[in-house]
Amino acid sequence: MPDVSPAAPRGHAPSRPRSCDVVVVGAGPSGASCAYWLAEAGLDVVVLEKKHFPREKTCGDGVTPRAVRQLEAMGLADEIASHHRFIGLRAIAFGRELDLEWPRHDDFPDAGYVITRAELDALVAGRAEKAGAELRQGTEAIAVVGERPGPARGVVVQDHDRDLIEEIHAKVVVVADGANSRIGRALGAARDRDVPLGMAIRSYHSSPRADEPFIESHLDIRDREGNAVPGYGWIFPLGDGRVNVGLGILASDDRLKGINTTKLLETFIDFAPSSWCLSAESALCAPTGGRLPMGFAVGPRVGPDYLLIGDAGGSINPFNGEGIAYGYETGRLAAEVITGALAAGDLGVLASYEERLEARYGRYYRVAAAFMALMMRPALLRRFISWGMHSKTFMASVLRIMSNMLREGTVAAPELAYRVAARLLDRGGTARLPANGSTLPR
């Protein structure tokens, strides 16, 4: 990519560019969390958001205990407590129904919330601002400063409100611009196409059951012709008369084009339990969808002076399509690494981000990758689920693994099953996360 001074600035940029310690591109879960932790550490942070809060974001709105833990750490426990709380997951498949309460875990709360992203993301971005980050809304990063390949040095931004193009210079650039990551691609990041991609779609409906204390997952979804689809459908109650209805599927690149998620969602709504009263008439908006870059299949995630976090780095959990918690976590982790690097005056320290990702997620995401391979074989998966749905204990173990709530050092069924799977993969497989080629020498 060439040096990116855009063609014709329409407004007058300030005579000297704004210079800061860190510029964060995107104020979704990952960017806002990173900005919060950087500001808390006393750094000069600018966080850019191309839209204005509160803004819509296509999502299932499911905030799991893992995400709640991070929100609490950012001091938002009271703010989220007024939203719809759920105590577990109702799994439905092959005519059976299991109410699975959230697994108990010393480090995580035992409930989650369903919160629209318009509200949730505004809350966290506001928190980052309160901690001292400069939040620039309506400001889009359109390019990276400097020659490519090379250090980022900062970004060129378009301030849509003032109709102005200017540069923001920074010691470190954090790329948190989501699944379609324009800035990540400008820096040379790409998705590993051997890893299947998730796709998801959702809509809001009115429903008499919008106060349910469980979120609902349908594990044997089919297309109109009755063929099994590798994925699941969900109904997440918002507690205000609305439910978020959607589905997520997994597909290899060559199958992606043939999939019509809108039609699959219509079919799911037709076959959902009638007690939810879902139909074309109960729909409150047209469905919207998006991609789920998972399993850390996007990289390199580290450059000489930049890091990729959240969906921009493919951090979604392949077991369940959950990305909010991993956005918060990778944002926080990146903030810790950057704080250390700037304190040491050595940007080489940024390379340790990849090592820390590997240490925290490597093994788990490799087991998840094996699960993805199972998902791509629907007949086998269906046999596994139809057998599993006969035992609440078994499915509770599956939930503990899939929600990444395993207890270290515990000798119990889910932890043992996980450890056996991980050891088998350690022996036969790769020992690193995919797409981890840092642009720094190791």
Per CB under 6 A, residues contacting ligand FAD are: 25-31, 48-51, 57-62, 140-141, 176-179, 182-183, 200-202, 246, 289-290, 292, 310-312, 316, 321-325, 327
Half-sphere exposure of 180 (CA within 13 A, CB side): 2
| Minimum CB–partner distance for residue 121 and ligand FAD (Å) | 6
Nearest CB to ligand FAD, comparing residues 257 and 442 = 257
Nearest CB to ligand FAD, comparing residues 287 and 414 = 287
What 318-321 contacts at long range (C-beta under 8 Å, 24+ apart), as own/partner pairs, is 318/198, 318/250, 318/294, 318/365, 318/368, 318/369, 318/371, 318/372, 319/368, 319/371, 319/401, 319/402, 319/403, 319/404, 320/402, 320/403, 321/60, 321/198, 321/200, 321/248, 321/292, 321/294
Nearest CB to ligand FAD, comparing residues 73 and 425 = 73
Nearest CB to ligand FAD, comparing residues 151 and 331 = 331
Nearest CB to ligand FAD, comparing residues 163 and 346 = 163
| Minimum CB–partner distance for residue 343 and ligand FAD (Å) | 25
Alpha carbon distance 183, 369 (integer Å):
26
Q: Supply 323's token pair.
A: 């990305």
| Minimum CB–partner distance for residue 139 and ligand FAD (Å) | 6
Give, in order, the Cα–Cα distances in Å from 49 to each of 14, 160, 178, 270, 359: 19, 11, 11, 37, 30
Nearest CB to ligand FAD, comparing residues 96 and 209 = 209
Alpha carbon distance 407, 398 (integer Å):
14
| Minimum CB–partner distance for residue 60 and ligand FAD (Å) | 3
Give, in order, the Cα–Cα distances in Å from 394 to each of 70, 373, 391, 398: 28, 21, 5, 6
Nearest CB to ligand FAD, comparing residues 38 and 48 = 48
Residue nearest to ligand FAD (CB): 323
Q: Supply 229's token pair.
A: 């689809």
| Minimum CB–partner distance for residue 179 and ligand FAD (Å) | 6
Nearest CB to ligand FAD, comparing residues 11 and 42 = 11
CA 336 from centre of chain: 19
Helix (H) or strand (E) holding 387: helix 378-388
Half-sphere exposure of 84 (CA within 13 A, CB side): 23
The answer to whether 177 touches 26, Cβ cutoff 8 Å, is: yes
| Minimum CB–partner distance for residue 389 and ligand FAD (Å) | 22
| Minimum CB–partner distance for residue 53 and ligand FAD (Å) | 9
| Minimum CB–partner distance for residue 177 and ligand FAD (Å) | 3
